[in-house]
Chain A
Amino acid sequence: MKKRFHWGYLGSLCASVLLAFAIGAVILAIAGFSPLKAYAAMVDGAFSNARHIGDWLEYAMVLCLTGLACVLGSRVGIFNVGGEGQLLLGAVVGCQVGVWLAGRSAWIVLPAAALAAMATGGLYALIPGWLKVKVKVNEVITTIMLNTIAASLCQYLAKGPWKNPNKNMVAATAQLDSRYWLSKLIPGSNLSTAILAAVVITFLTWYVMEKTSTGYEMKLTGQNPRFAFFSGIKTDRIVIVCMVISGAMCGLVGMFRVYGAEHLYRSSISNQYYFEGLTVAMIAGYQPVTVIFLSFFFAILKIGAQGMELTAGVPNQIYLIIQTVIIFFMAAESGVFASLRASSQRKKARADIRRKEGRDHA
């Protein structure tokens, strides 16, 4: 019950990160860049000015919320791979609500847009959740396919019925009236007041999962659904509710991206951001607190890599390489260490026998 800190996890995470940077350096060197300069440019890219720091925090918020949305599902044993679609739909619908309600007070428009985005994302997650619970359809497959459908649907809406009146904007919805834009916390950056809401949501998610009886029931359901059902928990309901909330969180992230940064819907609202959040959740071992910390770290890499591209001319794909290598090492680590542990135990057992026999013969 008591959460003990896992030094082993931290150790392997740090080792993986260092190794990933080392391998990244080798690749940079092969490609003809100076690794030192490139990494310096990366750090510089994330922290050199206030605008970069703002972008860093905004991206950390996105990673944190999407990562927690993924954790929410995995806690009850459902793997939401469909967050990207839920996010995009939330963004486009949230945006359009702002367009429809143009002229009304921001106090009406913003909550209405947030609710609409959450409802859209939640309902879109309800489909795979319901299919999983009622007809045992694998949610990984359904959510992945629903992603494609959502992306195409949003594209259609942005090019068709909800298209921006400006002919030069090809695939974008109409822009929001500036009075609905969330205020910037750091001018010029993407960081808006949305992050304040994100802090509250993050806290609530963590609190419910770790501190309440509902969180306990979620955990039991994820560990062994049959046992949870047997012990009296309404497992079907808990799985569906968690899936819907997970989708709603993704939808809300989409709305944050629109109202805080982009001010209209277009595909740059999310460039596979949910999958990056999901990656963070996986690396964090689906532990909420770890997700929060790692979000900040991976956001540095991401924003830093963009800076690095601008100043040192290094393609920002190096970020993807480093991230992938970290995942690779984290996954390999569990296997490697497990086999090392097993062999050391075998050795110890053998030594025990020899010692014993020595005693017997003596």
Chain B
Amino acid sequence: MDEIAVRFEHVSMAFPGVLANDDVTLDVRRGEVFALVGENGAGKSTLMNVLYGINTPTDGRVFIAGREVTDFSPRTAIGLGVGMVHQHFMLVPSFTVAQNIVLGREPRRGRAFFDNAAAESTTRRLVAEYGLEVDPSEPVEELSVGLQQRVEILKTLYRGAEILILDEPTAVLTPQETEELFAVIRRVVREKNMTVIIITHKLYEVLAISDRVGVMRKGQLVGVRDTSQVDEQTLASMMVGRPVLYDHLEKTGAPGDVLIQVEDLTVRDNRELTAVDGLSLSVRAGEILGIAAVEGNGQSELIEAITGMRRIEAGRVTICGRDATGLDPGAIRALGLAHVPEDRLATGVSRNGTVTDNLLAGRQREKRFNRFGLARRTSTIQRYARELYERFDIRGAGTDSAVGDLSGGNMQKVVIAREFSFDSPVLIIAQPTRGVDVGAIEFIHSQIIARRNAGCAILLCSADLDEVFRLADRIVTLYEGKITGEFTGEFSKDEIGLGMTGGRRDKEAAS
């Protein structure tokens, strides 16, 4: 058990202007599940990219299975038994499972011909050996995300991986799929004595799966603990560097009038396929309606349609009792809606614009910022921006710097500050804390609850299910553009997970 699989000795990795890894010394033992946690930008992925040979460390030494790595390249790392499953899968959708797995090291018939039968039998052997159930002849595009991930894992095993790196593996999974993944991890560790390093944001997963956990903060490894000796609070505090208060959200008040009404809404996605299919829902004042759905089930299109960012094919949207169907975002905002978009870089900010310009957007025509409608009151605008900057605790180089220079969390605070400042009766919030670190999440959540308690009708959509559980008063599950379930009171993760997969368990996953 105590054999060392991976050793980092004083590893530092500098990028222009950033020290992403700062003198990290760490041993990972053979046959353990090691979790690496930390806020965004703490250096977890950088460290793993060093191990996988994508980054050549500026300083320090790396040993894999006792041998020092001298030539940092993925090829070398794979040769030494390292496999990595990235957050975004690298699979060819139209190829079968077997074809994807052998890609790069295909079995040949003669010299030139691909041997599909051999590929499938090899895959079948791997599947049996590691207990990762998946049909080798199925095209990858037909598989659920959970099974695609399984293919990625099989791919690394095919290449002889003994050390498996999983980068945020559960970000795209339903609760059931996560459970299945964990079962697989436990099995390969127990039966094959593999080493698994898992990068994650979600602390309860760390507790569920790992033997030991390393916490990173600002490029440094601030501590390694046995998982049995820590809890979520401790880990969160280590990550942030100060105590984090959880579960301090107090919900008050009773629901009022219906402020968001969606009736029989049909919307198409960018490929002109139906993304939202005759959907109806309503949200009352003082209520948060959470949407739980696996990515790509119409939640993005639903929100874009409500907020005027996407054309509505059929149906009606009513905001604060007034018809908002087919209006542009400006007109819908005028009805009393504010919107935190899911993709802040593409939609939520102007990266090259200053913080001030970004905070002002939507208010530039207000009387107080204009002199007779002819000239902007620059000093009033700056004072306004600085006030919001302080109030929402945005940290950066000041209001005159470009928003693109802020960290992800602070960029999101700019979006939240702007949208919440409208004091609108309706808020549409998508992915409020995606890529945001623990400290900022706490703050954003309390802001959302404050708006709810003030009588705002909130539609919340998040890929982070725990966030939905934590904030929502009511949850609807969405599957292929339709509502598959509605939940109030005590939420059951199992039932909601079932609703997210269309109310039936995934065929392949169950077999």
A residues near B (Cβ < 8 Å) are 1-2, 211-213, 216-217, 219-220, 223-224, 226-234, 341-342, 345-346, 349-350, 352-354, 356-357, 360
Contact = CB atoms under 8 A, between A and B. Distances in A.
B353 A220 contact: yes
Interface centre among B309, B333, B351, B361 (most CB of A within 10 A): B361
Contacts of A226: 346-347
A223 B328 CA distance: 20
B350 A234 contact: no
A229 B309 contact: yes
Nearest to B402: A223
A213 B330 contact: no
8 contacts: A2-B378, A2-B400, A211-B375, A229-B309, A232-B362, A349-B19, A352-B14, A356-B23
Contacts of B309: 229-230
A217 B364 contact: yes
A213 B370 contact: yes
A353 B400 contact: no
Contacts of A352: 14, 19
Top 8 A-B pairs, shortest CB-CB distance? A232-B330, A349-B14, A231-B361, A223-B350, A345-B16, A224-B350, A342-B16, A213-B364
Nearest to B304: A230
Contacts of A234: 328, 330
Given A216-B376, A346-B16, A233 B59 contact: no
B76 interface: no
A346 to B, nearest CB: 6
Contacts of A231: 329-330, 361-362
B328 to A, nearest CB: 7
B400 A227 contact: no
Contacts of A212: 374-376
Nearest to A351: B14
A357 B376 contact: no
B14 A353 contact: yes
A213 B371 CA distance: 10
> From DSSP, what is the main secondary structure of chain B's interface residues?
mixed
Contact of B381 (A1, A224, A341): A1
A354 B15 CA distance: 15
B45 interface: no
Contact of B341 (A211, A230, A346, A353): A230
B511 to A, nearest CB: 43
A227 B12 contact: no
B282 interface: no
Contact of A1 (B307, B330, B357): B357
B59 A1 contact: no
Nearest to B20: A349
Given A1-B381, A213-B364, A220-B361, A230 B348 contact: yes
Contacts of A353: 12, 14, 19, 22-23, 58-59
Given A220-B350, A227-B350, A1 B400 contact: yes
A42 B14 CA distance: 52
B339 interface: yes
Contacts of A211: 375-376
Contacts of B58: 349-350, 353
Contacts of B334: 232
B10 interface: yes
A227 B365 contact: no
B438 to A, nearest CB: 26
Contacts of B347: 226-227, 230
A2 to B, nearest CB: 6
A233 B347 CA distance: 13
A288 to B, nearest CB: 16
Contacts of A216: 357, 360, 364, 376
Contacts of A2: 378, 400
A229 B22 CA distance: 42
Interface string B394-415: 0000011000000000000000
A356 B23 CA distance: 9
Contacts of B362: 231-232
A126 to B, nearest CB: 21
Nearest to B419: A231
Interface centre among A229, A230, A234 (most CB of B within 10 A): A230
Contacts of B346: 224, 226-227
A213 B376 contact: yes
Interface centre among A212, A231, A232, A345 (most CB of B within 10 A): A231
Contacts of B12: 353
Contacts of B23: 353, 356-357, 360
Nearest to B381: A1
A356 B17 CA distance: 16
A227 B347 CA distance: 5
Interface in B6-31: 10, 12, 14-19, 22-23
B16 to A, nearest CB: 4
A224 B344 CA distance: 11
Nearest to B378: A1
Given A232-B329, A356-B23, A213 B357 contact: no
Given A1-B382, A211-B376, A216-B376, 9 more contacts: A211-B375, A212-B376, A216-B364, A223-B353, A224-B351, A231-B330, A232-B328, A356-B22, A360-B23
Contacts of B22: 353, 356
Interface centre among A213, A229, A342 (most CB of B within 10 A): A213
A216 B362 CA distance: 11
B297 interface: no
B353 A346 contact: no
A353 B361 CA distance: 42
A226 B347 CA distance: 6
B361 A1 contact: no
Contacts of B354: 1
A352 B13 CA distance: 12
B352 interface: yes
A136 to B, nearest CB: 13
Interface centre among B12, B346, B354 (most CB of A within 10 A): B12
Nearest to B355: A1
B9 to A, nearest CB: 12
Contacts of B341: 230
Contacts of A346: 14-16
A227 B356 contact: no
Interface centre among A212, A216, A232, A352 (most CB of B within 10 A): A232
